[in-house]
């Protein structure tokens, strides 16, 4: 539950406190400004002459030749914009938080309406059409993430509320999408592919405890659980594409925020003749909290980001982005109990950055993007014994640095025909691994110790080409057909082809049927290749997917959706030391429980399947003061290992249900809450007797101020997040999540 009690001066803070428009005494209040840009969906061409209206007021504006607009004299509060342009579907943009400090900036994309329908008066919708992806795609604004209860303003945790998405355990961002392992998810930030978007991330996967993206910098996040376009590849489960906003071009401003777990500061403003900058920095107070609580392991992190945008001319923009993060875990080993507790924790310290230089050129009826990116991550993971002083029993020091060049072109060939295509090349120039896994932690199928100790490095390259054609065949039918070609130079030049098909058919003005069919390939993670000499022979694995859906908008602010999906895996990595199991790593809190990071012999031989049905109901905040989201997923996931026996997948969760509901009874209060119910994940039992007690038994499987109060786990339920072997007690014990967890803080905007 979230309660927000704002002061007289309002900001867009850690939660949204003021909702319905305030007009009674607007002349007595400081006013704010809304700036923005209106673009055409797909080509991002600026739309001149689009009309923007602040609903329930007389404030209006028209866009200029660059698609820009400015609305001044807006009373502080939460507003809705209606955007209309001739020949385009009108749209309502909710949750525009306006304060008297820095201007609020928005970007709106309008979708062309077929000529046959342009004379029809189309009702403005609160949901932007997702014509670029035919199925399984949802879009989250920064304000939607900010107000979602229990997600701690983390865009990845907000994604976990959507249908088809599960998590491995509370407190982690290891997304399980339609039964796929966390390493099957693709994350992009401003077009840059990011290996892991989390602090204290799991090497070779994409999960971690919390995102390193400051929600204040997010413009929107697009999330697809399947059927994604040919532009995206080398992942088989999902795509999360995060677009970051640019700084204000109107005036300098900033924000300072402080909560129970950390704080951040922001500065932004105009730069040069026609440019802007955005700079932010965050620091956690987890180290102070953990020390105060008497824990023996102390996590801490800092992160920062800088985005600079320069308009070179009316058609050309150059932007630069860099995001860096540093997370460390230190131990306090001043008594035997802390040394024993710490011996069961793998400390994942991590230093990383990713950066990109983007050149964008608007063409006649199209757009060309060229992105030069660089990612770098230094992992330092250690687990010690319980002796005094402690000695390492596991070590994984790894460095992964990769440079990429991406070119994307979108061109409107005709009013009903759109062509998109591109190419990307990636070169990992820095892959260095210093690893130590003792035999007691790495045993083969007969439980014979197989220690691993190596210090090695190599390089890797990969390339991809793609093309896609979108055709508005009739006013009701839109089809997409795409083809992608991937070449993996570090896998002996393996080449794979991925066809993609999709369609949307409007049954009536409020109901649309959708379908998609496609093949998706993914290469093994780099660290898997050093787990054994035979792993260099691994090949890409694939997933064939089909999705059928139905969308309905009974009201402009209400969306109902149902989707059926089926997915088949081939050549999936199988564990050779564990014949019954496929490789499905997520977070490793204790390397004594299982072999970590895929550091064992693997074979690309397993098969699997996932199928299910998903339901979604989403209500936007409108003239009715309620908002919410409800999603239900019913699915099954199974895999066949080396023995040919079909077993539940490691992330098989038959039922996942989420409900978020909020109420704004008046302009000064907002109350919201979240409930999540899910089936437990399968676990692997431990051997409890004899010489090998404590090993897992793989033959079986299972300037304005806002204050806020955020209470997580209101029911106080301590869910079991995993099983662990207690060496002292010689017994299996359950790891449980935290109970009631309140958080409080404030934010200042200027």
Ordered DSSP codes for 471-509: EE-SSSEEEEEEEEEEEEGGGTTEEEEEEEEEEEEEEET
Top-ranked range on mean pLDDT: pick from 241-245, 334-338, 383-387, 593-597: 241-245
Higher confidence at residue 488 or residue 30?
488
Cβ atoms of 71 and 52 closer than 8 Å: yes
Q: Is 750 helix (H, G, I), strand (E, B) or coil?
A: coil
Average pLDDT over every residue of 5-31: 41
Tokens of residue 77, six digits = 């509060």
CATH class of 2-749: mainly beta
Percent of the chain with pLDDT over 70: 84
Q: What are the domain boundaries of the chain? A: 2-749
C-alpha pair distances (Å), 189 with each of 72, 243, 336, 394, 710: 31, 6, 44, 33, 28
DSSP string covering 297-346, please?
EEEEEEEEEEEEEEE-SSSEEEEEEEEEEEEEEEE--SSHHHHHHHTT--
- Residue 159 is classified by DSSP as H
**Nearest residue to 5 via CA among 750, 624, 749, 744:** 744
C-alpha pair distances (Å), 357 with each of 179, 353, 516: 35, 14, 33
What local confidence, expressed as pLDDT, does residue 679 receive? Answer: 80
**Nearest residue to 235 via CA among 181, 279, 280, 169:** 181
Find tokens 């290992």 and name the residue. 641
Tokens of residue 215, six digits = 């929600």
Asked if residue 560 has pLDDT above 90, the reply is yes
Q: Quick: pLDDT tens for 106-162.
A: 999 998 887 665 555 667 888 877 666 678 889 888 888 888 888 888 899 999 999
Give the side-chain half-sphere CA count within 13 A for 526.
26
Average pLDDT, the chain: 86
Residues 343, 347, 349: CA angle, nearest 5 degrees: 160
3-state SS, 252-267, equals CEEEEEEECCEEEEEE
Asked if residue 347 has pLDDT above 60, the reply is yes
What local confidence, expressed as pLDDT, does residue 4 receive? Answer: 36
Strand partners, 186: 239
* pLDDT bucket at 644, cuts 50 / 70 / 90: confident
What local confidence, expressed as pLDDT, does residue 190 receive? Answer: 95
What local confidence, expressed as pLDDT, does residue 699 receive? Answer: 52
Average pLDDT over every residue of 407-434: 95
Higher confidence at residue 27 or residue 626?
626
Average pLDDT over every residue of 8-16: 33
Q: Quick: pLDDT tens for 375-403.
A: 999 999 999 988 888 888 899 999 999 99
Cβ atoms of 608 and 637 closer than 8 Å: yes
Strand partners, 542: 521, 570
What local confidence, expressed as pLDDT, does residue 728 receive? Answer: 64
- In the chain, what is the straight-line distance between the N-terminal and C-terminal CA atoms, in Å? 28
**514, 136, 584, 159: CA torsion to nearest 10:** -170
Which residues, 6+ apart, have CB-to-CB distance to 621 below 8 Å?
Answer: 19, 78, 94, 95, 557, 627, 662, 664
**Nearest residue to 660 via CA among 64, 142, 163, 136:** 163
Top-ranked range on mean pLDDT: pick from 250-254, 296-300, 626-630, 661-665: 626-630
Give the side-chain half-sphere CA count within 13 A for 418.
20
Which residues, 6+ apart, have CB-to-CB distance to 8 below 8 Å?
Answer: none
Asked if residue 352 has pLDDT above 90, the reply is yes
Asked if residue 296 has pLDDT above 70, the reply is yes
Q: Quick: pLDDT tens for 577-622.
A: 988 889 877 666 678 778 889 999 999 999 999 999 999 999 998 9
């Amino acid at each position: 539950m979230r309660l927000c009690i704002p002061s007289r001066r309002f900001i867009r803070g850690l939660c949204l406190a003021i909702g319905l428009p305030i007009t009674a005494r607007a002349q007595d209040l400081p006013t704010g400004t809304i700036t923005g840009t209106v673009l055409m969906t797909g080509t991002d061409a600026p739309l001149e002459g689009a009309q923007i209206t602040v609903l329930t007021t007389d404030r209006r504006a028209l866009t200029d030749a660059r698609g820009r607009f400015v609305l001044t004299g807006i009373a502080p509060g939460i507003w809705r914009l209606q955007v209309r342009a001739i020949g385009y579907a009108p749209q309502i943009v909710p949750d525009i938080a306006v304060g008297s400090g820095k201007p609020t900036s928005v970007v709106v994309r309008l979708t062309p309406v077929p000529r046959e329908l342009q004379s029809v008066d189309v009702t403005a919708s609160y949901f932007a059409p997702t014509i670029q992806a035919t199925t399984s795609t949802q879009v989250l604004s920064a304000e939607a993430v900010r107000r979602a209860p229990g997600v701690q303003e983390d865009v990845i945790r907000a994604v976990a509320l959507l249908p088809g998405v599960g998590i491995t355990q509370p407190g982690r961002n290891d997304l399980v999408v339609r039964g796929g392992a966390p390493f099957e998810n693709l994350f992009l930030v401003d077009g840059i592919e990011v290996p892991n978007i989390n602090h204290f991330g799991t090497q070779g996967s994409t999960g971690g405890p919390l995102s390193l993206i400051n929600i204040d910098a997010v413009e929107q996040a697009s999330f697809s659980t399947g059927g994604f376009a040919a532009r995206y590849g080398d992942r088989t489960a999902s795509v999360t594409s995060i677009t970051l906003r640019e700084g204000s071009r109107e005036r300098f401003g900033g924000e300072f925020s402080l909560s129970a777990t950390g704080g951040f500061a922001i500065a932004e403003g105009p730069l040069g003749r026609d440019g802007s900058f955005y700079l932010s920095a965050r620091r956690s107070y987890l180290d102070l909290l953990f020390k105060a609580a008497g824990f023996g392991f102390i996590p801490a992190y800092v992160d920062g980001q800088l985005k600079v945008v320069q308009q070179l001319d009316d058609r050309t923009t150059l932007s630069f982005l860099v995001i860096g993060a540093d997370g460390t875990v230190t131990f306090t080993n001043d008594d035997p109990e802390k040394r024993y507790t710490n011996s069961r924790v793998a400390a994942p310290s991590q230093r990383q950055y990713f950066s990109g230089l983007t050149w964008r050129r608007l063409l006649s009826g199209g757009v060309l993007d060229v992105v030069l990116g660089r990612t770098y991550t230094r992992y330092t993971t250690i687990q010690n014994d319980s002796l005094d002083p402690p000695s390492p029993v596991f070590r994984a020091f790894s460095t992964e640095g990769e440079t990429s060049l991406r070119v994307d072109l979108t061109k409107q060939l005709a009013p009903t025909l759109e062509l998109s295509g591109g190419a990307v090349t990636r070169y990992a120039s820095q892959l260095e691994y210093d690893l130590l896994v003792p035999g007691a932690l790495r045993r083969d199928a007969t439980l014979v110790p197989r220690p691993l100790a190596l210090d090695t490095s190599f390089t890797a390259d990969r390339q991809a080409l793609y093309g896609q054609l979108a055709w508005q065949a009739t006013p009701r039918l839109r089809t997409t057909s795409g083809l992608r070609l991937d070449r993996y130079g570090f896998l002996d030049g393996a080449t794979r082809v991925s066809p993609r098909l999709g369609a949307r058919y409007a049954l009536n003005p409020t109901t649309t049927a959708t379908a998609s069919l496609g093949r998706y390939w993914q290469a093994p993670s780099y660290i898997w290749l050093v787990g054994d000499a035979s792993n260099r022979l691994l090949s890409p694995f694939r997933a064939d997917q089909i999705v059928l859906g139905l969308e309905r908008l009974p009201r402009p602010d209400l969306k109902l959706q149902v989707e059926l999906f089926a997915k088949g895996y081939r050549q999936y990595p199988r564990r050779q030391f564990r014949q019954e199991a496929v490789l499905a790593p997520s977070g490793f809190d204790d390397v004594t429980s299982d072999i970590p990071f895929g550091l064992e012999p693997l074979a690309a031989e397993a098969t699997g399947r996932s199928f299910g049905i998903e339901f979604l109901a989403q209500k936007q905040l409108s003239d009715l003061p309620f908002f919410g989201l409800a999603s239900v997923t019913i699915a099954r996931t199974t895999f066949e290992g080396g023995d040919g026996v079909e077993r539940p997948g490691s992330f098989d969760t038959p039922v996942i249900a989420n409900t978020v509901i909020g109420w704004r009874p008046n302009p000064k209060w907002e109350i919201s809450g979240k409930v999540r119910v899910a089936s437990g994940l399968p676990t692997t039992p431990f051997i409890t007797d004899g010489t090998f007690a404590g090993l897992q038994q793989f033959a079986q499987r299972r300037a304005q101020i806002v204050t806020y109060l955020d209470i997580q786990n209101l029911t106080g339920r301590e869910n079991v997040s995993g099983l662990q072997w207690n060496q002292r007690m010689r017994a299996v014990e359950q790891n449980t999540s935290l109970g009631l967890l309140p958080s409080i803080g404030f934010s200042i905007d200027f």
